[in-house]
Chains A and B, each alone.
Chain A
Amino acid sequence: MKVRLLILGCWFLSIVATGQVLRIAFDAADLKTLDPHYAAATMDRAVVDMVFNGLVRYKPGDITVIEPDLALSWEVSEDGLIWTFYLRPGVSVHPFPGMPDGYELTSEDVVFSLIKAADPQRSAYAGEYTGMKFEAVDKYTVKIVLPQPISSALFLPKVANYSGGFIVPKRAYEELGPRFATNPVGTGPFRFKEYSPAQKVVLVRNEHYFRGTPKLEGVEIWYMPDVTARLSALLTGEVHVIEGVREQAWVEAVKRYPQVIVDVFGPGETEVLHINMTKRPFTDLRVRQAVAYAIDRNELVTAIGPDVAEPLCAAVPPYLPGGLTCAEVAERGLLYDVDLAKARELLAEAGYPEGFEISAYITERASYRKPFENIQAQLARVGIKLNITVVDHSSFHSLIRQDANPLVHYEAWRPSADAFLTRFYHSASRVVVGTKPDTNFSHVTDIDGLIEAARYELDTEKQIALWKEAQIKLLEEMASYPLYILKFVFCRSKSVDYGYELKSSLALYPSINELTTLK
């Protein structure tokens, strides 16, 4: 009897042991980089999110709340120039070759990491830290000196668990060198174990995690570019969480499986049609307005599906401070509700009574191509013939940055109103001709003052008012037509409990942390 019980016990333990490794599959063929200061793609952000921490963090499942992470507390000087962070003592850096027991993270690491994040040679997000100085006051205190004061709404995201804000331990980075990009070492709930090219990354739990030992034994991140394979693997239980397809029909189909939960969550990505104001005939405001009156954003939302898309009526989404809701835009009479007669009238006034013909490139990715084809059909109703050339995603990004398109459909997420407005509408960001060419495809030049005034405004209400004013100007000159917000879709087995309520995630996947369990 005892032997039977022992065997049963061992069997049970083996089930529990193997059952506590969560497998998550992403729509990707392989990783790109696991250096948090470069990671940009969803599958890379996911690994980085589990391995690293920021000084502060977005509350799991709710990006509207910022809470302590590696820093227990912080304060800002009266003049708004000096931010001081008091670190959590006893935070353990994951083991790595050269230091098999890891070491305690201190202000030296934080300063090193922030300097790295600010260095364009070692970080993709250096522009976020221009002019800042970083100083280790003592073992657990870090001082950040800004060149100009900015509001906490703009500053804290720079030191949060996102992009350049992830803290890279100094000694691990120096020891591993270029290998750090595929062998990340951080302080997060899970530590890197191995990488199998074009297959998976294996993480194991960090027993010394400062928030407590994670409930999962480990996490495997699988690269599975085929959606049928991902769904099949979810249905057979080989993976527990998958990246889904951001289309209503797919969501509805998957919801029919009783063992699967579909999570549709924010913040989502903004889908905007940028109108190039330097290319004829879009140099004429009436033509741009005609385009706006010809497009029916509700039809686009219906085509994609109300669960995964919601209308976007201004450049900054309403869930960010400074964003405009559709009701606010309607109040100002700038909603541009579909009106084909008015569109034709405006075209006639502009000298195009029969419409005109234009050509544009679009990527083969469905989330860009399908709505763009829908817009093509909508514009045809007022005589605008849009010829589309479908190219691969890399080519598309290259071509639109060479100013090849009169109309650019762009999908993006940015962490603040300032980032949205600066990257898409500041004159310095104009493609090709800007001083820092970025993604100003419309060639907007007249709201720089508002963007900069808002950036350095410390009064929250005034700052929000400036951001809103900038967006109103954009709508008045119809530099871009906001289409909709496309949310994220992930599916999980019912056995997965994330450990928090998932409303939004900046890591662009449902964050797996120390609270996540597999039943």
Chain B
Amino acid sequence: MARYVIRRILVAFPTLLAVYTLVFLFIRVAPGDPAVAALGDYASAEAVQALRERMGLNTPLWVQYGATLLGYVRGDLGRSLITNISIGSQIAAVLPHTLELTFAGVLIGTIFGIPLGIIAAVHRNRLADYLSRVFSLAGISIPAFYLGILLILAFAVKLRWFPVMGAGDFSNPVENLRHLALPALALGIIMIAFVARMTRSCFLNVLREDYIRTARAKGLSERGVILLHSLRNALIPIAAVLGTQTALLIGDSVMTEIVFSRPGMGKLIVQAMLQRDYIALQSLIVVYASLVVVINLLTDLSYGVIDPRIRYE
């Protein structure tokens, strides 16, 4: 397995290099000047020119490309063109909040989505199935930010159970959870919908398998058939969906972070894009892509845990 992991990590480098190259080119093709964005429209022309010089924007493109890449090799993500803050420190400050939110969303999606999918599959074409499918369809259809606004209005403005804004301090777990509850629910409901649909579909396939019929013929209880024989076999495609959705959820968290005024990677990426903060955008996307690579690797490794027959050659 170690060789497999090393091989995957080695394959990740060209992937990340391709991501970096594409972002580097696309952001520079788009119109917009980081110096103007940083200084505002009242700044003098000399000041804009001086800042462009200081930002290194007047150096040849290949020099800019190489300098940033060299920084990555040294573990330096560079400094924001706009704020001059180290991007590494910015990411260190916000990444825990993004991971916390994503993890909470996935957790909610898994805890509620899998049972909901199983119930729907077991009670196929009955009321529970219909309700589950309606919920799933609604969950997939509603954008996370809109759901977030509805949750804010209901649970923060009307009921005053949860705060509207910010991310609680990690040193105060209760406060942290209060701040996390609504945004996690906004992402979690969408995740529940995806997971429930996938679980239902996988379960229906598994329930048709010969070994399930055999288990039932042996007189195994229905609960035993579902939990011992069906669930584990259905879990591999579910794990695949969970992996993909977790990566997507980091992207979905952009609007959730904005609606709930939480610090996070998504908010930084949008800000960097709007301000043409080339260095910050490149580094943030590379870090985001690295996260996706890691999540995909963990997802692939989880297959072996779920199904011991799978070997990593």
Residue A397 is within 8 A (CB to CB) of chain B in the complex: yes
In the complex the two chains form, is B275's CB within 8 Å of A127's CB?
Answer: no
The closest CB in chain B to the CB of A239 belongs to B165
Taking CB atoms, residues of chain B closer than 8 Å to A402 are: 31
- In the assembled complex, the Cα of A423 lies from the Cα of B211 at a distance in Å of 80
Question: Known: A197-B94, A236-B157, A414-B42. Is A126-B47 also a contact (CB below 8 A)?
Answer: yes
The closest CB in chain B to the CB of A33 belongs to B83
Residue A302 is within 8 A (CB to CB) of chain B in the complex: no
Q: In A233-275, which residues have CB < 8 Å from any B CB?
A: 233, 235-236, 238-239
- In the assembled complex, the Cα of A197 lies from the Cα of B264 at a distance in Å of 9
- In the assembled complex, the Cα of A57 lies from the Cα of B40 at a distance in Å of 22
In the complex the two chains form, is B260's CB within 8 Å of A198's CB?
Answer: no
- In the assembled complex, the Cα of A391 lies from the Cα of B152 at a distance in Å of 31
In the complex the two chains form, is A232's CB within 8 Å of B47's CB?
Answer: no
- In the assembled complex, the Cα of A391 lies from the Cα of B276 at a distance in Å of 13
Taking CB atoms, residues of chain B closer than 8 Å to A395 are: 30-32
In the complex the two chains form, is B274's CB within 8 Å of A232's CB?
Answer: no
Question: Known: A200-B166, A228-B149. Is A29-B258 also a contact (CB below 8 A)?
Answer: yes
In the complex the two chains form, is A226's CB within 8 Å of B42's CB?
Answer: no
In the complex the two chains form, is A198's CB within 8 Å of B267's CB?
Answer: yes
In the complex the two chains form, is B38's CB within 8 Å of A233's CB?
Answer: no
Question: CB < 8 Å: which of A121, A197, A392, A394 contacts B90?
Answer: A197
Question: Known: A233-B164, A236-B160, A238-B163. Is A436-B84 also a contact (CB below 8 A)?
Answer: no
Taking CB atoms, residues of chain B closer than 8 Å to A439 are: 41
Q: In A37-83, which residues have CB < 8 Å from any B CB?
A: 38, 40-41
In the complex the two chains form, is B84's CB within 8 Å of A178's CB?
Answer: yes
In the complex the two chains form, is A198's CB within 8 Å of B39's CB?
Answer: no
In the complex the two chains form, is A38's CB within 8 Å of B262's CB?
Answer: no
- In the assembled complex, the Cα of A349 lies from the Cα of B94 at a distance in Å of 62
Residue B271 is within 8 A (CB to CB) of chain A in the complex: yes
Residue A182 is within 8 A (CB to CB) of chain B in the complex: yes
Residue A514 is within 8 A (CB to CB) of chain B in the complex: no
Question: CB < 8 Å: which of A125, A178, A437 contacts B47?
Answer: A125
Taking CB atoms, residues of chain A closer than 8 Å to B48 are: 124
Least CB distance from A49 to B in Å reads 15
Q: Mark A330-345, 1 if CB is under 8 A from B, else 0.
A: 0000000000000000
Taking CB atoms, residues of chain A closer than 8 Å to B138 are: none
Least CB distance from B154 to A in Å reads 11
Taking CB atoms, residues of chain A closer than 8 Å to B43 are: 38, 40, 124-125
In the complex the two chains form, is A236's CB within 8 Å of B267's CB?
Answer: no
The closest CB in chain B to the CB of A199 belongs to B263
In the complex the two chains form, is A238's CB within 8 Å of B165's CB?
Answer: yes
Which bracket fits the contact residues of B?
Answer: 35 or more
Q: Mark A220-237, 1 if CB is under 8 A from B, else 0.
A: 001111101100110110
Question: CB < 8 Å: which of B32, B49, B270 contacts A398?
Answer: B32
Residue A401 is within 8 A (CB to CB) of chain B in the complex: yes
Taking CB atoms, residues of chain A closer than 8 Å to B51 are: 124
Residue A18 is within 8 A (CB to CB) of chain B in the complex: no
Question: CB < 8 Å: which of A125, A127, A401, A412 contacts B36?
Answer: A401
The closest CB in chain A to the CB of B87 belongs to A197
Question: Count the A residues whose beta carbon is within 8 Å of the partner chain — how many?
Answer: 56
Question: CB < 8 Å: which of B30, B32, B47 contacts A120?
Answer: B47
In the complex the two chains form, is B50's CB within 8 Å of A121's CB?
Answer: yes
Question: Known: A29-B270, A225-B258, A395-B31. Is A232-B152 also a contact (CB below 8 A)?
Answer: yes
In the complex the two chains form, is B46's CB within 8 Å of A394's CB?
Answer: no
Q: In A154-192, which residues have CB < 8 Å from any B CB?
A: 163, 178, 181-182
In the complex the two chains form, is B157's CB within 8 Å of A235's CB?
Answer: yes
Residue A14 is within 8 A (CB to CB) of chain B in the complex: no
Question: CB < 8 Å: which of A182, A222, A391, A414 contacts B261?
Answer: A222
- In the assembled complex, the Cα of A239 lies from the Cα of B164 at a distance in Å of 10
In the complex the two chains form, is B38's CB within 8 Å of A33's CB?
Answer: yes
Question: CB < 8 Å: which of A25, A163, A181 contacts B42?
Answer: A163
- In the assembled complex, the Cα of A98 lies from the Cα of B231 at a distance in Å of 63
Q: Mark B155-190, 1 if CB is under 8 A from A, else 0.
A: 011001001111100000000000000000000000
Least CB distance from A120 to B in Å reads 4
Taking CB atoms, residues of chain B closer than 8 Å to A125 are: 42-44, 47
Taking CB atoms, residues of chain A closer than 8 Å to B267 are: 29-30, 198
In the complex the two chains form, is A398's CB within 8 Å of B33's CB?
Answer: yes
- In the assembled complex, the Cα of A31 lies from the Cα of B94 at a distance in Å of 15
Q: In A378-394, which residues have CB < 8 Å from any B CB?
A: 391-394
Residue A132 is within 8 A (CB to CB) of chain B in the complex: no
In the complex the two chains form, is A40's CB within 8 Å of B54's CB?
Answer: no
The closest CB in chain B to the CB of A429 belongs to B45
Least CB distance from B252 to A in Å reads 15
Taking CB atoms, residues of chain B closer than 8 Å to A126 are: 44, 46-47
In the complex the two chains form, is A229's CB within 8 Å of B261's CB?
Answer: yes
- Could you write out 7 A-B pairs with CB less than 8 Å apart? A32-B83, A124-B42, A126-B47, A236-B163, A239-B165, A391-B31, A439-B41
5 additional A-B pairs beyond A198-B94, A392-B274, beta carbons within 8 Å, are A29-B258, A125-B44, A196-B93, A412-B42, A437-B45
